[in-house]
């Protein structure tokens, strides 16, 4: 237990104008951290004051539009065996903190065998997208804890930890990401400068640029970039599937139905269809009021839920309640009321108390009761 007595975790964060959320983040993890390092990249609010309430290790770093450089600097200040990173708009809920506390005990005894620890990130929608109970929450698996001095960050924006062949451990611990702002304009500025300096865009740089164009609703630029990405001889299959999905939305915006469907089917060349792909195809047929085709593909989405999330960011809703809600709607449109009711009930099992689904339950029950009365 010597490692536990000396300390195990250094929390390393880079921040800028995070006064409103930094305390929430640090309150959720402070008891589990043996060292907290905050690197400020140019705040004009009280971020550094808030940081000082939690740690004496507050540093400044001149911002040069390079997130990886700032994160690497924060890692360089760490002194504990393991470094864990978080953003200010993230937090560790109490049940997840208990899991991390248990993991910390295990690492203190067995740390020689683990270099990288992966955790999940649950991404809530930005405030501008509303707070409806039926809004999806995205989830992805990322390396969150690494052995100090062995790994570094790469990429000026949408940076990633290069873990190489490090011995990795997967966990069921999830960090909640609750963004307080949308940074599309900032990210596009950094990416455009990066592309200009590189003289070209390819691979992950091209993928990130296409995504930011998509987020900015510049569908023409996004379409061109995704098509270019898919023409590359090699690439990460998860990104290629995402490119196909977002291409289909670009074509939907342009009312190009055939290209929209072809983009979704094209994703099958990069891997077995996941629930979000199946729902995309089903949605195409639903808009055309082809209920049988729509129902078939929504049911395929439900069948594919057991495949697991994987590393490609996919809304958890597609793996739980959403396909049931959508296929219930199609069954109702096809006047197959019993099937509609059953899938609405399955959605309610995931979202008990949801007023939209409870209202649908009452409507479907009324239709079923009227049907039974007529048959009698």
Backbone angles phi, psi at 160, to 5 degrees: -135, 150
> How confident is the model at residue 124, as a pLDDT?
76
Tokens 């006047």, residue located: 335
Nearest to 84 by CA among 131, 130, 32: 32
At a CB cut-off of 8 Å and minimum separation 6, what does 179 contact? Answer: 89, 123, 124, 126, 127
DSSP code for 311: S
What is the rounded CA–CA span in Å between residue 207 and residue 230?
Answer: 10
Q: Are the C-beta atoms of 139 and 51 separated by less than 8 Å?
A: no
CA-nearest of 33, 13, 26 to 85 is: 13
Q: In this structure, how many other beta carbons lie within 10 angstroms of the beta carbon of residue 26? A: 22
What is the Cα–Cα distance from 9 to 5, expressed in whole angstroms? 11
pLDDT for 111 equals 60
Q: How far apart are CA 97 and CA 171, in angstroms?
A: 13
Fold exhibited by the domain 184-268: 1.25.40
> What are 127-137's pLDDT values in tens digits?
554 444 444 46
Q: Which two tokens stand for residue 324?
A: 């049931």
Asked whether the domain spanning 272-376 has the same topology as the one spanning 2-177, the reply is no
> CA 131 to CA 134: how far, in whole Å?
8
C-alpha–C-alpha distance, residues 20 and 22, integer Å? 6
Q: Are 73 and 39 in contact (CB under 8 A)?
A: yes
Model pLDDT, residue 165 = 81
What is the per-residue pLDDT for 207? 95
The residues near 166 (Cβ < 8 Å, ≥ 6 apart) are 115, 116, 146, 147, 150, 151
One-character DSSP codes across 32-45: G-SEEEEEES--SS
Task: Select 2-177's CATH number: 3.30.450.20, 2.60.40.4070, 3.90.550.10, 3.40.47.10.
Answer: 3.90.550.10
CA atoms within 13 A on the CB side of 167: 7
Query: What DSSP element (H or E) covers 267?
Result: none
Sign of CA dihedral 44, 60, 179, 254: positive
Question: What architecture (CATH level 2) is domain 272-376?
Answer: Alpha Horseshoe (1.25)
Q: pTM for this structure?
A: 0.84
- All residue ranges of the chain with pLDDT < 70 are 1-5, 111-112, 125-138, 308-311, 376
pLDDT of residue 1: 35
DSSP conformation class of 158: S
Question: Can you tell me the distance from the alpha carbon of 19 to that of 1, in angstroms, rounded to the nearest whole number?
Answer: 37
323-375 tens-digit pLDDT? 999 999 999 999 999 999 999 999 999 999 999 999 999 999 999 998 888 77
**b/e string for 307-322 if b means 16 or more Cβ within 10 A?**
eebeebbbbbbbbbbb
Q: In sequence order, which residues have a C-beta less than 8 Å from that of residue 370 and are 6 or more positions away?
A: none
């Amino acid at each position: 237990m010597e490692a536990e007595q000396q300390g195990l975790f250094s929390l390393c964060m880079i921040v800028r104008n995070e006064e409103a959320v930094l305390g929430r983040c640090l309150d959720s993890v402070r008891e589990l951290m043996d060292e907290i390092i905050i690197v400020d990249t140019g705040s004009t609010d009280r971020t550094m004051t808030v940081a000082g309430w939690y740690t004496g290790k507050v540093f400044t770093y001149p911002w040069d539009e390079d997130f990886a450089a700032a994160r690497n600097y924060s890692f360089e200040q760490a002194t504990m065996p393991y470094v864990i990173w978080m953003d200010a708009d993230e937090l560790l809920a109490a049940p997840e903190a208990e899991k991390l506390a248990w993991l910390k005990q295990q690492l203190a005894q067995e740390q020689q065998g683990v270099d990288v620890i992966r955790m999940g990130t649950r991404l809530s929608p930005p405030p501008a997208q509303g707070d409806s109970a039926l809004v999806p929450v995205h989830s992805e698996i990322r390396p969150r804890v690494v052995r100090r001095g062995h790994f570094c960050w790469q990429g000026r924006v949408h940076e990633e930890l290069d873990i190489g062949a490090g011995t990795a451990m997967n966990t069921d611990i999830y960090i909640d990401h609750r963004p307080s702002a949308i940074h599309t304009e900032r990210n596009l500025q950094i990416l455009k400068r990066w592309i200009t300096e590189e003289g070209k865009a390819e691979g992950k740089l091209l993928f990130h640029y296409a995504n930011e164009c998509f987020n900015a609703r510049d569908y023409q630029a996004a379409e061109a970039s995704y098509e270019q990405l898919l023409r590359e001889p090699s690439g990460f299959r998860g990104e290629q599937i995402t490119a196909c999905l977002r291409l289909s939305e670009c074509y939907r915006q342009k009312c190009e139905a055939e290209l929209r469907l072809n983009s979704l089917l094209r994703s099958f060349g990069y891997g077995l269809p996941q629930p979000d792909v199946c729902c995309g195809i089903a949605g195409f047929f639903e808009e055309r009021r082809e209920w049988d085709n729509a129902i078939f593909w929504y049911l395929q989405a439900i069948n594919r839920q057991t495949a697991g999330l994987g590393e490609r960011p996919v809304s958890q809703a597609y793996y739980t309640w959403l396909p049931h809600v959508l296929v219930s709607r199609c069954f109702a449109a096809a006047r197959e009321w019993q099937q509609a009711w059953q899938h609405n009930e399955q959605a309610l099992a995931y979202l008990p108390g949801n007023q939209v689904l409870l209202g649908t339950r009452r409507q479907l029950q009324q239709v079923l009761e009227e049907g039974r009365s007529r048959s009698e």
